[in-house]
A and B are shown apart, each in its own frame.
Chain A
Amino acid sequence: MVTGTQASTSRPYPQSKPRGSFKLAGETWIGVIFIIASILIPALSGSDYWLHIFLLLNLYMVVSICQNLLLTDAGQVSFGQGAVFGVAAYTVGIFSGLHGFPLWLGLLAGLAAGIALGLLFALPALRVKGFYLGFVTIAAATVMPEMLNAFSDITNGINGISLRVRWMHESWLLGMSPLALLIGALTIVTLIAHNYLRTTALGRRMRVAALSPETALTLGYRPGVVRSIAFLVAAIGTSLAGVLYGPLLGFLSPDAFHFDLSIFFFFAVIVGGSGRLLGPLVGTAILYLVPNVLLVDLVEYRLLGYGVTALLIMLLFPDGIIGTIVKQIRQRKTAIRPASIDLRPLLEMNFPKKDQRAAHADEPAVAVKDARRQFGQVVALNNVDLVVKPRTIHGLVGPNGSGKTTLLNVLTGLNRLDGGSVYVFGVKANHLPAAGIAQLGIARTFQTPRIFEDLTVWENLQLGLDANRQPSDEMLLAAFGKLRQPLSECWPEQLSHAQRRMLELLRCIGTGSDLLLLDEPAAGLSGEERTRFATLLRLLRDELHLTVVLVEHDLSLVWRLADEITVLDAGAVVARGNAAEVKENPAVQKLFWGERDA
């Protein structure tokens, strides 16, 4: 077991909880064994030819793992890894091969060049999504070998560069050379690093940014930043493999870095099973070994074999090989047990006196004036005024489509007003970026809960804790700590719709925000669950001094809980006041029951 510290958040967990420990996933162990075998066996057999093939395979596997990181963890369709690989390799060749600089200098230069190019690919990723990035990177991958030829005075063009590093190929250990040991170590480290990254807050944030940039913003961080970090990490790994390519082959030529190479890494990831840790290893092995080993005598048919293999595997196993295997294993398990989240640790918290939050003592948590928002012909918000006093529960009710969710979107910066003003904790929020608004201390839930199926229930909850900027929420952390064990074994598919809403709510509480915006959190809850939910909300208001804006359709819940209520219809405010006033208002009754004019 490898132990390691949790996360990159600035707050340590309280001492009473056990330190987080990092366990290698089953797939990683299998991968490590495979890597060791792939180098040891050819080395022991004494065949230089086979050792060479498998060492090259290992270099390619490193790049495929980085490609997998970019594609699945960060959600970026980038074909640029071949170009990064080639630039790193060629820079080593130019420095050490053509100009005779010492090898270590060449390696460093190669690393720097590769990383620079990899980061360059991050720039379009910040502006455009999906396949656009794919085409930009394919274009770059096509242009790179052409540029290698065009600038032949620097790169020696089609003549290539020779790079002999004799000592790296001598036999050191069990028939393995220093180069073989280095490459094997690199592959193993890359695999483990990928595994480790997924257990960190950064890794979680990457996946969230890829799957739901909106959620990332409401948790207070910018998807673009974590995306750039993903490109950086992938560039580092790919460049490390690239700089070893020259010493391995002894020779560099522009042909070796045709854009086909970039497509190869992409194929390898998806054929193996994108998202699986072992996927890139399996995919690379199959797509490299089948044409180059099985078809080694039929040179003309190598390309055809490679294309047909990729196509067939995609048609037969759309989830990739490892993905399909894992899916089969999961489906054989007996029917999933529904799970639910126990609220008691939170309800049983002991609260000391809280002074910090008195900072926002009297100014309204939310002040909206004359808000106007139109989508084409549809008027979503029609001169809406809303004032939410701090440390209250404010109910926001109205028929479907009356503008409640639009209002929440405006408050969190996911939508902008056409006219009017929005103030959150006294700060004008009309033009603040959404991540910035979240950092003021707001968290929200969505009508369709943003729960991530590939993370455990605990990890989903951790997303909130990762975003917690309050320095001293010891008691809250202790309460969440009690939930860690049971929820680490639980997956979102075991949660009912109502439980997913609870999970999202708990995530919001975990962020330590002072203002919670809840969009229909009680939908689907049983009577008993509703009572517990109401108790939780009162506790948050009275003990943690939070402010809650509650959008709800369950009017009896709203009448019970809310200190003040605003009623919307067709984007306009039609009533406001406390529960007693609003409940008896005949216009409100007509609105919800829909009585015909007599």
Chain B
Amino acid sequence: MLEVQGLCSGYGRLPVLQDVSLSVKPGEIVLLLGPNGVGKTTLMKTIAGFIKPSKGVVRLNNADITGHAPEEIARNGLRLVFEGHRVFPELTVADNIRLGGTRISRAEFMTRQERVLELFPMLRQKFRQPARDLSGGQQQMLALSQAFVAKPSVLLCDEPSTGLAQAILPPIFRLLSMWASDGAAILMIEQYVDQGLALADRGMVMERGRIVLEGSSAEISTNPKVRQVYLGTDA
């Protein structure tokens, strides 16, 4: 369960995020929408501890984690998967995944690893190869797998499709769906809006550092204003 209240943060002394509040319940997938530069990644980085907020509160499973170090927040059950398929290039696929599972029992780790390898069989094929030999899409799946085996209660997924073809999304979305069914609360950013809304339960639209529109995916996807932002058509 993730709760954010009145969050203000930014780089330097002028804020990028202004008074952002939201919550994501276990098993929910919430999609964060908005044009580039509006603060979506800043919001995720602030929640995950990479940026210290100037105001506001972040609560993870009712515990206050505002301003904590990112490693501590990750160890307490919140994982941020960066955009741009960031993995450890010199380590093997196996070792990359292994680094995710430091806080759970070996048995649980093996079970979860098995589940994710079933979804991404090409990772099993390249299990002993260094991550830099994988394609961008495979690296993105690897990054998500590393987070998955850690069994986080909250996942922040920043635009998994950046730099990759749209076709990368279906297997990734299957993972996220399974993940949410397991009980994780998922907040995600995705530029392919229609596919994102098909997966998500709710959507939130951001503009200039604030959340300006909220609703179920159905409401958001049929809202003409949202289409205008993404397609540039006159409403």
A596 touches B134 (CB 8 A): no
Cα distance A494–B84 in the bound complex, in angstroms: 30
User: Does B162 lie at the interface of the complex (its beta carbon under 8 Å from any beta carbon of A)?
Assistant: yes
Does A576 sit within 8 A of B, measured CB to CB? Answer: no
Q: If A523-B35, A554-B232 touch, does A570 touch B194 (CB 8 Å cutoff)?
A: no
Given contacts A556-B232, A557-B232, could you give 4 more A-B pairs where the C-beta distance is less than 8 Å?
A: A400-B36, A497-B37, A556-B233, A594-B195
- The chain B residue sitting closest to A589, CB to CB, is B231
When chains A and B are docked, how far (Å) is the Cα of A559 from the Cα of B167? 27
Contact call A596/B136, Cβ cutoff below 8 A: no
Q: Does A134 contact B (CB under 8 A)?
A: no
Segment with Cβ contacts to A, from B12-20, B91-99, B142-150: B12-20
Asked if B182 is at the interface (CB within 8 A of a chain A CB), the reply is: no
Q: When A and B form their complex, what is the total count of cross-chain residue pairs whose Cβ atoms lie within 8 Å?
A: 91
A593 contacts B13, CB within 8 Å? no
In whole angstroms, how far apart are the Cα atoms of A583 and B227 in the complex?
13
Are A524 and B195 also in contact (CB < 8 A) when A497-B16, A556-B232 are?
Answer: no
Contact B136 A594, beta carbon cutoff 8 Å: no
Q: Which of A's residues lie within 8 Å of B, judged by CB?
A: 336, 338, 376-378, 399-402, 453, 493-498, 520, 523-524, 526, 553-559, 569-570, 583, 589, 591-596
Q: Does B22 contact A (CB under 8 A)?
A: no
Tell me the minimal C-beta distance from A520 to chain B in angstroms: 6
Question: Does B163 touch A at the CB level, under 8 Å?
Answer: yes
Indicate if the CB atoms of B14 and A593 lie closer than 8 Å: no
Which of A336, A524, A557, A559 is the most central at the interface, judged by chain B CB atoms within 10 Å of its CB? A524
Q: Given known contacts A592-B230, A594-B166, A594-B194, is B14 in contact with A520 (CB within 8 Å)?
A: no
Q: Would you call A524 and B12 a contact (CB within 8 A)?
A: no
Q: When the two chains form their complex, are residues B232 and A376 in contact, meaning their CB atoms are under 8 A apart?
A: no
Q: What secondary structure prevails in chain B residues at the interface with A? A: loop
Contact B135 A596 (CB under 8 A): no
Q: A377-B133, A524-B38, A583-B232 are in contact. Are A570 and B165 (CB under 8 A)?
A: yes
CB pair A493 B14 closer than 8 Å: yes
Number of interface residues of B (CB under 8 A): 38
- In the complex, the chain A residue whose C-beta lies closest to that of B35 is A553
B37 touches which of A378, A399, A523, A583 (Cβ 8 Å): A523
Please name all residues of chain B whose beta carbon is closer than 8 Å to the beta carbon of A377 when the two chains form the complex.
133-136
In angstroms, Cα B232 to Cα A555, docked, is 5
Enumerate 28 A-B pairs (CB-CB under 8 Å) in ascending A order: A336-B14, A338-B14, A377-B135, A378-B136, A400-B36, A400-B83, A401-B164, A402-B163, A493-B14, A497-B16, A520-B36, A520-B37, A523-B38, A524-B208, A526-B208, A554-B232, A555-B230, A555-B232, A556-B233, A559-B232, A570-B164, A583-B232, A589-B231, A592-B231, A593-B193, A595-B194, A595-B195, A596-B194
Closest 5 CB pairs of A and B: A594-B192, A555-B232, A401-B163, A523-B37, A556-B232
The chain B residue sitting closest to A560, CB to CB, is B232
Selected contact of A593 from candidates B35, B36, B162, B194, CB within 8 Å: B194
Partner of A401, one of B162, B230, B233: B162
Q: A453 CA to B12 CA in the complex, in Å?
A: 10
Query: In the bound complex, do residue A524 and residue B164 qualify as a contact, i.e. CB atoms below 8 Å apart?
Result: no
Q: Take A377-B136, A594-B194, A596-B198 as given contacts and tell me if A495 and B14 are in contact as well, using a CB distance cutoff of 8 Å.
A: yes
CA distance A399 to B35 in the complex (A): 11
**Are B163 and A400 in contact, CB atoms less than 8 angstroms apart?**
yes
